[in-house]
């Protein structure tokens, strides 16, 4: 397996990321006070904030705690999970929901010990309908019987409403924000959207904080929502970076957050 390390990152940055992901993992497990499978939506207010990188790293972290984890790419318009983990993008979720492929044909087994992944699949002309479909709801019901934790990487809230349609069938949402990139009004708009549909915000991940300068200033308060932070610059920490000495073989070769910013 490849080693996980930060692209241009110092050991101090890696240690901060390692501890931050562990904190996120622990807080998520306590935030969702229920037995059985926990299903969590990861999203952001706008593109380029590192939601996919955050979702993947949390999935790796939870898998390391001996939990069976499934990461699903629900960003059906602009999927990134398969690129980040260097997997085939098709067949995937859309192919299954359209009836073209069986479940075993779309799931990538043991991408990392205890971690399975479902890529988005072929780009669909009706992604919102697929995300909110009866078939999607039925699939999640079946998957909850097989996994301890399901993480859904969804599109930015202020771009499309796909994530909102999932909130009633999940345990809550984690919002990823990026200081000096995301306008405060955009964050407030995203939070208001979740609250409007009576969704539960489990926490806010502040991505790309300079831990030496502590310069997240006006992003430091999100009302009653928990805040976690990691990294020195967004995208520096690679997937699997929680344990620098052992990483997923599919760890990306470049900044995932940067890729997200450029392609969305």
List the CATH code of the domain at 11-263.
3.40.50.300
More confidently predicted of 10 and 6: 10
Tokens in use for 80? 């990134």
Residue 48, pLDDT score:
92
- CB environment 115-145: b (16+ within 10 A), e (fewer): bbbbbbbbebeebeebbbeeebeebbeebbe
pLDDT digits (tens, 9 = 90+) for 147-164: 999 999 999 999 998 889
In the 8-state DSSP scheme, what is residue 227?
A: E
Residue 25 and residue 19 in contact, taking contact as beta carbons nearer than 8 Å: no
Q: In this model, does residue 256 exceed pLDDT 90?
A: no
Q: What predicted TM-score, i.e. pTM, was given to this entire model?
A: 0.79
pLDDT of 17 reads: 77
As a whole number, mean pLDDT of residues 219-235 equals 41
Strands 115-118 and 38-44, sheet pairing: unpaired
CA–CA distance, 118 with 245 (Å, rounded to integer): 26
Higher-confidence position of 136 and 246: 136
Give the start-to-end residue ranges of the domains of the chain: 11-263
Strand order in the sheet with 69-73: 108-112, 115-118, 69-73, 149-153, 38-44, 172-177, 201-207, 227-230
Place of tokens 């450029």: 262
Comparing CA positions, the residue from 49, 127, 117 lying closest to residue 83 is 117
Q: 234 preceded by cis ω (within 30°)?
A: no
Cβ distance 18 to 244 under 8 Å?
Answer: yes
Region 244-260 average pLDDT: 32
Give the mean model confidence (pLDDT) for residues 202-208: 89
What would the two tokens of residue 67 be? 């939990």
Alpha helices in the chain (DSSP H): 11-31, 51-64, 81-84, 93-97, 103-106, 127-131, 134-143, 162-166, 184-196, 256-263
Contact yes or no for 179/187 (Cβ under 8 A):
no
Predicted confidence at residue 174, as pLDDT, reads 95
Residue 56 contacts residue 256 (beta carbons within 8 Å): yes
Report the candidate in 15, 36, 38 with the shortest Cα–Cα distance to residue 27.
38
């Amino acid at each position: 397996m490849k080693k996980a390390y930060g692209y241009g990152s110092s050991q101090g940055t890696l240690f901060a990321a390692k501890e931050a992901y562990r904190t996120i993992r622990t807080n998520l497990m306590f935030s969702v006070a229920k037995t059985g499978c926990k299903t969590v939506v990861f999203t952001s207010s706008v593109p380029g904030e590192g939601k996919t990188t955050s979702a993947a790293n949390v999935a790796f972290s939870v898998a390391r705690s001996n939990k069976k984890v499934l990461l699903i790419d629900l960003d059906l318009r602009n999927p990134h999970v398969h690129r980040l983990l260097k997997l085939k993008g098709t067949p995937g979720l859309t192919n299954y929901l359209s009836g073209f492929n069986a479940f075993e044909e779309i799931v990538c087994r043991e991408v990392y010990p205890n971690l399975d992944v479902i890529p988005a699949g072929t780009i669909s002309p009706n992604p919102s309908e697929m995300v909110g479909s009866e078939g999607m709801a039925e699939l999640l019901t079946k998957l909850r019987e097989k996994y301890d934790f399901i993480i859904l990487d969804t599109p930015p809230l202020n771009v499309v409403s796909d994530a909102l349609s999932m909130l009633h069938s999940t345990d809550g949402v984690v919002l990823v924000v990026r200081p000096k990139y995301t306008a405060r009004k955009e964050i407030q708009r995203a939070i208001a959207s979740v609250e409007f549909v009576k969704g539960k915000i489990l926490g806010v991940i502040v991505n790309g904080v300079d831990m030496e300068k502590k310069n997240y200033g006006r992003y430091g308060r999100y009302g009653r929502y928990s805040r976690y932070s990691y990294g020195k610059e967004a995208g520096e920490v690679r997937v699997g970076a929680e344990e620098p000495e052992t990483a997923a073989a599919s760890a990306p070769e470049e900044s995932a957050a940067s890729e997200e910013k450029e392609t969305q």
